[in-house]
Chains A and B, each alone.
Chain A
Amino acid sequence: MYPIMHREEMSGGTVVLNEIHAPQIAARAKPGQFVILKANETGERIPLTMADTNPGSGTITVIYQVVGASTRLFKTLAVGQGYDDIIGPLGKPTRIEKAGTVLCVGGGTGVAVLHPITRAFKQAGNRVIGIIGARTRGLLILEDRMAAATDELHVCTDDGTYGHHGFVTDVLKTILARETVNQAVAIGPVPMMKFVCAITREAGVPTLVSLNPIMVDGTGMCGGCRVSVGGENRFACVDGPEFDGHKVDFDQLMQRLGAYRAEEAAIGAEHACKIGR
């Protein structure tokens, strides 16, 4: 068993943080990589990109939105309890380089995945601008940590309850009009990544996105996570999870994320959409 050492609820209990003892993974994991978690014998294998690792204490941190049967089960796990199985680190780490000015855009729980990548770009000597957003103030996560990891942080809420009233793309446009950006990273709901990429493509700013399609094994064996990148099929689990956002077919990805919507509804899940996970 992989025990939970620390647990927090965020966004009014719709988002949960687990710090889990998994020393082998903690020692090796790099920003951008993911793990697969399975709570118990009957559980599903759920891929989550790590929000943090601490090799010293041998822990990894995941932050997930409670959206379906499996994450509802995860939410019931208390400190001292844990996961039967955790596999990782999987996928390729983010290529962290000194690019100059780096723009990190996150939405929903994507901010959890964005944070360690943002921090790594900052540590690599880049000037880092952050833009994070949420539907409403209560759903915003990790603002303080993102503030610490960036030189400049912009916060947006769709409903205007906090920060800029509007979408991350509004702020993105302003910044791109204001100065030269050398690299962008966008992690969040698929529509957000799609719209961010449409804007950065216009501006000619290379943009990394981190994808979380449906997958089973996470080692390149099942092909369920295939995404169309530049017209070619790539497996998010081994070729990704990060890809050139200007080449990803986001519409197809969005459709494929809904493959098991009927089954998820049948199991009694509320709207089982992965958007925002």
Chain B
Amino acid sequence: MEKNTQTWALPRQSMPEQDPQVRRSNFKEVPLGYTEQAAVMEAKRCLQCKKPGCVQGCPVAVDIPGFIQKIADGNFDEAIKIIWRTNSLPAVCGRVCPQEIQCEGACILAKKAGAAVAIGNLERFAADRARAAQAQDLPAKEPATGKKVAVVGSGPSGLTVAGDLVLKGHDVTVFEAFHKAGGVLVYGIPEFRLPKDIVRSEVAMLERLGVTVACNQVVGRTVLLDELFEQGFEAVYVGVGAGLPTFLNIPGENLIGILSANEYLTRANLMKAYLFPEYETPIARGKNVVVLGAGNVAMDAARTALRLGAETVRIVYRRSRTEMPARGAEIHHAEQEGVEMFLLSNPVRFCGDAQGRLTGMDCIKMELGEPDASGRRRPVPMPDSDFHLACDLAIVAVGAGANPLLTGSTGGLKLNKWGYIVTEEESAKTTRRGVWAGGDIVTGAATVILAMGAGRIAANSIHKYLTLGW
């Protein structure tokens, strides 16, 4: 591709963003998207490698050079079709994937020119443009097989399984416990990072393809997994996520004003409590907010608290900046908006008033010792380093565990010691015939795209089973 050899050295096209001082008080999306011109410019930086590392770096193996070439040619309609072949949620992935450690991390330009091709931004551009143009061209479906597949959970892995299998001609029903489909994409990730209209339109796309989405279905309560087989489903995919909040188990944790990140974000995102009282679900609005934990969920909670009017928002984390699990971009966005980092600090107890409301938190300073089992340096308390942090809202974002609601009511599923479902890595098969599992209920809390990757593996295996046998 000779033309590209002259353009790769151009600077990476940055995506315009809402000004931090403006956006910290609204829920509108932060990055504003590429113009067509910027997208074409960026696409032209791609070297069209013969052995593209980016594709290997993508858990669902999107033909990245292929779609980028179409954007470079100005053929945007073809670009999205190439993506849709292997990814049913491009508008989501373009926004929330950790591209820097996946496709973009493997881009040769990262080393050669100092900045990888902005693959995520280009994917987002292609998907947004198709949505704005209301592209009605559905991907081609194979003839109906008459085989029924149940997908439990409508998060990213479930939607991927549904999208893949409906294209292969199977009859797919997605069971969702909440009243809206999308799983973590609707209850977890905030509007300013992933507008809910986008999730709705990606789900609507699957419905147009023929997927049935059944909400208010708590599998394990409303219907048992065993009964799905009785109802004629021949294969069941379990993608219920890691929906069990972890608390700190320190004194005072039941004071009013201490919430799990799951609760706080579900109120804000799924129930739209940020629009209270127009939407009836209330949400705690703290003046001085602390967020415990330093992953992406913690950043989401911190930035939500700012937007709900907090005067100070502090991330309190027991390790140092290097160990923070959140994406660099999320930390950067949070700091730009005014979130403060209280690193190497560990809460010891919560303090409250006579009415049982949170007033502050006693903490201790930490220092890093030898590496622990996770390979990260273990934080150790520093003697006589206690300090008090006044706060009226504390959001606990220290991870999530396996919710036993489904696994506890279903026989034949082998679980590991943490309660996650044991699967065969290359097929996502569980120990029970006809049941597959993937996403956070297998791996523990991870990313959207890894869940989608697991969904892809499962979908291939399910298709093989339905056509050839277990």
CB-defined interface of B150-180 with A at 8 Å, one 1/0 digit per residue? 0000000000000000000000000001110
B310 at the A interface (CB under 8 A): no
CA A28 to CA B405, docked complex, whole Å:
16
Nearest residue, chain B, Cβ from A262:
B282
CA A256 to CA B357, docked complex, whole Å:
9
Task: Kindly list chain B residues whose C-beta atoms are within 8 Å of the C-beta of A266.
Answer: 277
Docked-complex contact B243 and A219, CB < 8 angstroms: yes
Say which one of A10-18, A81-89, A141-149, A179-187 lies at the interface with B. A81-89
Docked-complex contact B278 and A42, CB < 8 angstroms: yes
Docked-complex contact B263 and A223, CB < 8 angstroms: yes
Docked-complex contact A222 and B262, CB < 8 angstroms: yes
Contact A88 to B262, CB < 8 A, known contacts A217-B178, A256-B254: no
Main secondary structure of the interface of B (DSSP, over half): loop
Nearest residue, chain B, Cβ from A73:
B280
CB-defined interface of A217-241 with B at 8 Å, one 1/0 digit per residue? 1011111101010000100001000
Say which one of B113-121, B214-222, B426-434 lies at the interface with A. B214-222
Docked-complex contact A222 and B266, CB < 8 angstroms: yes
CA A144 to CA B263, docked complex, whole Å:
41
Docked-complex contact B247 and A255, CB < 8 angstroms: no
Docked-complex contact A85 and B280, CB < 8 angstroms: no
Task: Kindly list chain A residues whose C-beta atoms are within 8 Å of the C-beta of B284.
Answer: 259-260
B210-264 contacts to A (CB < 8 Å): 215-216, 218, 221-223, 243-245, 247, 253-254, 256-257, 259-260, 262-263
Docked-complex contact A38 and B179, CB < 8 angstroms: yes
CB-defined interface of A11-53 with B at 8 Å, one 1/0 digit per residue? 0000000000000110010000000001000111100000000
B267 at the A interface (CB under 8 A): yes
Docked-complex contact B221 and A89, CB < 8 angstroms: yes
B356 at the A interface (CB under 8 A): yes
Contact A45 to B271, CB < 8 A, known contacts A87-B218, A267-B280: yes
Docked-complex contact A223 and B245, CB < 8 angstroms: yes
Docked-complex contact A88 and B222, CB < 8 angstroms: yes
Docked-complex contact B215 and A217, CB < 8 angstroms: no
Contact A267 to B277, CB < 8 A, known contacts A88-B221, A221-B245, A224-B263: yes
B403 at the A interface (CB under 8 A): yes
Docked-complex contact A219 and B254, CB < 8 angstroms: no
CB-defined interface of B197-217 with A at 8 Å, one 1/0 digit per residue? 000000000000000000110
CA A115 to CA B247, docked complex, whole Å:
36
Docked-complex contact A255 and B355, CB < 8 angstroms: yes
CB-defined interface of A54-84 with B at 8 Å, one 1/0 digit per residue? 0000000000000001100100000000001
Docked-complex contact A223 and B222, CB < 8 angstroms: no
Task: Kindly list chain B residues whose C-beta atoms are within 8 Å of the C-beta of A263.
Answer: 276-277, 282-283
Docked-complex contact B271 and A238, CB < 8 angstroms: no
CB-defined interface of B109-140 with A at 8 Å, one 1/0 digit per residue? 00000000000000000000000000000000
Task: Kindly list chain A residues whose C-beta atoms are within 8 Å of the C-beta of B245.
Answer: 221-223
A174 at the B interface (CB under 8 A): no
A172 at the B interface (CB under 8 A): no
Task: Kindly list chain A residues whose C-beta atoms are within 8 Å of the C-beta of B243.
Answer: 217, 219-221
Contact A223 to B278, CB < 8 A, known contacts A85-B179, A217-B177, A255-B356: no
Task: Kindly list chain B residues whose C-beta atoms are within 8 Å of the C-beta of A220.
Answer: 243-244, 403-405
Docked-complex contact B405 and A233, CB < 8 angstroms: no
Docked-complex contact A24 and B222, CB < 8 angstroms: yes
Task: Kindly list chain B residues whose C-beta atoms are within 8 Å of the C-beta of A69.
Answer: 277, 280
Docked-complex contact B277 and A226, CB < 8 angstroms: no
CA A228 to CA B271, docked complex, whole Å:
26
Docked-complex contact A256 and B256, CB < 8 angstroms: yes
Docked-complex contact B356 and A256, CB < 8 angstroms: yes
CA A228 to CA B404, docked complex, whole Å:
20
B6 at the A interface (CB under 8 A): no
Nearest residue, chain A, Cβ from B272:
A42
Contact A221 to B216, CB < 8 A, known contacts A87-B177, A255-B356: no
Docked-complex contact B262 and A221, CB < 8 angstroms: yes
> Given A43, A222, A228, A268, which contacts B254 in the complex, CB threshold below 8 Å?
A228
A171 at the B interface (CB under 8 A): no
B5 at the A interface (CB under 8 A): no
B470 at the A interface (CB under 8 A): no
Nearest residue, chain B, Cβ from A2:
B216
Supply 11 A–B pairs (Cβ within 8 Å), ascending by A: A28-B222, A87-B179, A87-B218, A88-B218, A89-B221, A219-B218, A220-B404, A222-B245, A223-B260, A233-B247, A256-B356
Interface residues of A (CB under 8 A from B): 24-25, 28, 38, 42-45, 69-70, 73, 84-90, 216-217, 219-224, 226, 228, 233, 238, 252, 255-256, 258-260, 263-264, 266-268
Interface residues of B (CB under 8 A from A): 177-179, 215-216, 218, 221-223, 243-245, 247, 253-254, 256-257, 259-260, 262-263, 266-267, 271-272, 276-284, 355-356, 403-405
Additional A-B contact list (7), CB under 8 Å, known A222-B266, A255-B355, A258-B256: A25-B222, A87-B179, A87-B216, A89-B222, A217-B178, A224-B263, A260-B284
